[in-house]
Chain A
Amino acid sequence: MENLEGRLTKLALKGDQRAFAELVELYKDKIYHLAYRMLNNRHEAEDVVQETFLRVYRNLDRYDDKQKFSTWIYRIGTNLCIDRLRKRRPTYSLDAEMNDQEGIDGYSMIPSDNVTPETELLLSETQSLIYEAIDSLPVKYRSVMILRYLQDLSLQEISDVLDMPVTTIKTRVHRGREFLRKKLGPKL
């Protein structure tokens, strides 16, 4: 029995561009979401998505279909995000705080099909608080928390993606949750 991703990777490996496009369709939103929450910046998130798929494409021959495709692609995406966060300069993180909170910065003021009135309405004060809190999490907790809550990944799956023992992941989820509780608790 072969999964859909396994079939598509094999076809893509033979040069079938449509099969690869299919994989992109299946995972682009997931990786974009992951990168957007990790980096809190649209442009950077799109760059990461592009880079992730380029790496997937170049390493198709190394994909082992006994492994879940999602685990593999999340690993590539997460590592790219972590690399970017490490390379950010201290001055940049000051900018980043101003950066890309929907409705605040210049970029999102540009009329776009993506920002519907509904999504703007939905971004309440509570939401901004939560996103700020996530953004202030140290990177090692942030990646774990985002993977945990983004796609309902289990502790075991997160440990596969990050290549760390489950016990470490568990500790980080607990500490991350405590961190968020302390930031948000008084405001809730």
Chain B
Amino acid sequence: MECKLAVSMMHDYLDDDLPELQQRELKEHLLSCTGCRAKFKELEQTDMLMFSLMHQTPVASEDLVGRIMNSLPKPKKERAFITWIKRHPALTAASVFIFVMLMSSVTFWNQDRQLVVRGTDLDQVVIKGDTVIVPSGKIISGDLTVENGKTQVYGEVNGNVTVIDGSLYQASTAHISGQVKSIDQAVSWLWYKVTNMFSEVAYR
């Protein structure tokens, strides 16, 4: 075998790309040729060093993930609202108060439990303690909104069901034609209040 071919085979061997038969041929050449043997040793050492060194991982700054996530374009509505809150913490607290005051004047408010039930067809609804029940067989035409309570739907709601800071149980017999929304977080709850108030004002 010529040395030139042997060198090319050495590389293929290190690439894990040399068939077994040729591996044997290479081995035979290496046994008989000191020059190639020395070269192979150097190549193999270089290869091993590269592998071992490249597997020492440098560590990026701890805040890198945060920076990456913050650099991403965000859904516009949410971002505008959240940055506004962050920028005006005192104002926000005041606004919450004002919103709550305004809402209490337009909703049915149970002072004892602070359970708020809002809807267009409330006489079909049964309220037991902090639980709002739509009994099976009953049909509510319109939306139903429950704050700070448990909601159990057995019958039909021809509208949206919104649960704020509470739980929702839908029986197998339940049928809700509109959207079902559960709002827990303070921010989305606030957002809900704001948009809802504006639409209510607009409809008056």
Given contacts A50-B71, A149-B51, A149-B54, A45 and B11 within 8 Å (CB-CB): no
Let me know if A181 and B15 touch, CB within 8 A.
no
Bound-state Cα–Cα, A113 to B65, Å: 16
Give the distance to chain A from B129, nearest Cβ to Cβ, in Å: 36
Which of B42, B43, B54, B57 is packed against the most chain A CB atoms within 10 Å?
A: B54
Known: A32-B60, A131-B53, A177-B11. Contact between A15 and B46, CB under 8 A? no
Within 8 A of B (CB), among A47-65: 49-50, 53-54, 57-58
Residues on A with C-beta less than 8 A from B64 are 28, 32, 46, 49-50
How far in angstroms is the closest Cβ of chain A from B74? 8
Residue B35 lies at the interface, judged by CB distance under 8 Å to chain A: no
List, in ascending order, chain A residues with CB within 8 A of B71's CB.
Answer: 50, 53-54
Min distance, Cβ A102 to any Cβ of chain B, angstroms: 9
Q: Is A11 an interface residue (CB 8 A)?
A: no
CB contact list, B46-83 vs A, under 8 A: 46-47, 49-51, 53-54, 56-62, 64-65, 67-69, 71-75
Stretch at the interface among A1-9, A16-24, A78-86: A16-24
Given contacts A114-B61, A127-B53, A173-B11, contact A50 B46 (CB under 8 A): no
Given A28-B65, A188-B45, A15-B15 contact (CB < 8 Å): no
Q: Does A70 contact B (CB under 8 A)?
A: no
Cβ–Cβ < 8 Å partners of B67 in chain A: 46, 50
Asked whether B25 is an interface residue with its Cβ less than 8 Å from the other chain, the reply is no
CA distance A57 to B68 in the complex (A): 10
User: Which among B54, B65, B73 is the interface contact of A146 at CB below 8 angstroms?
Assistant: B54
With A28-B68, A57-B72 in contact, do A180 and B50 touch (Cβ < 8 Å)?
Answer: yes
Query: B60 to A130, Cβ gap below 8 A?
Result: no
Q: Map CB proximity to B onto A151-188 as digits: 1 under 8 Å, 0 otherwise.
A: 00001000000000000001001100110110011001
Looking at the complex, which one of A17, A29, A57, A185 makes contact with B46 (CB distance below 8 Å)?
Answer: A185
Instruction: Find the B residue at minimum CB distance from A32.
Output: B60
Contact with B along A109-150 (1 / 0, CB 8 A): 000011000010010001100110000000000000110011
Contact size range, A: 35 or more
Q: Is the interface of A mostly helix, strand, loop or mixed?
A: helix
Categorize the interface residue count of chain B: 20 to 34
Query: B46 and A24: CB pair below 8 A?
Result: no
Given contacts A25-B65, A29-B60, A130-B53, contact A155 B15 (CB under 8 A): yes
CB neighbours of A29 from chain B (8 A)? 57, 59-60
Instruction: Enumerate chain A residues within 8 angstroms of B58, measured Cβ to Cβ.
Output: 32-33, 36, 42, 45
Point out the residues of chain A lying under 8 angstroms from B8, CB to CB: 174
Contact status A130-B72, CB under 8 Å: no
Beta-carbon contact of B49 and A184 below 8 Å = yes
Q: Is the CB of A180 within 8 A of B72?
A: no
What B residues does A146 contact at CB under 8 A? 54
Task: Mark interface residues in A82-98 (1 if CB within 8 Å of B CB, else 0).
Answer: 00000000000000000
User: Can you identify 19 A-B contacts, CB atoms within 8 angstroms?
Assistant: A17-B69, A20-B72, A21-B69, A28-B60, A32-B60, A33-B58, A46-B60, A46-B64, A49-B68, A50-B71, A53-B71, A53-B72, A58-B73, A114-B59, A119-B56, A145-B50, A178-B43, A188-B46, A188-B49
Footprint of B on A, CB under 8 Å?
15, 17, 20-21, 24-25, 28-29, 32-33, 36-37, 42, 45-46, 49-50, 53-54, 57-58, 113-114, 119, 122, 126-127, 130-131, 145-146, 149-150, 155, 170, 173-174, 177-178, 180-181, 184-185, 188
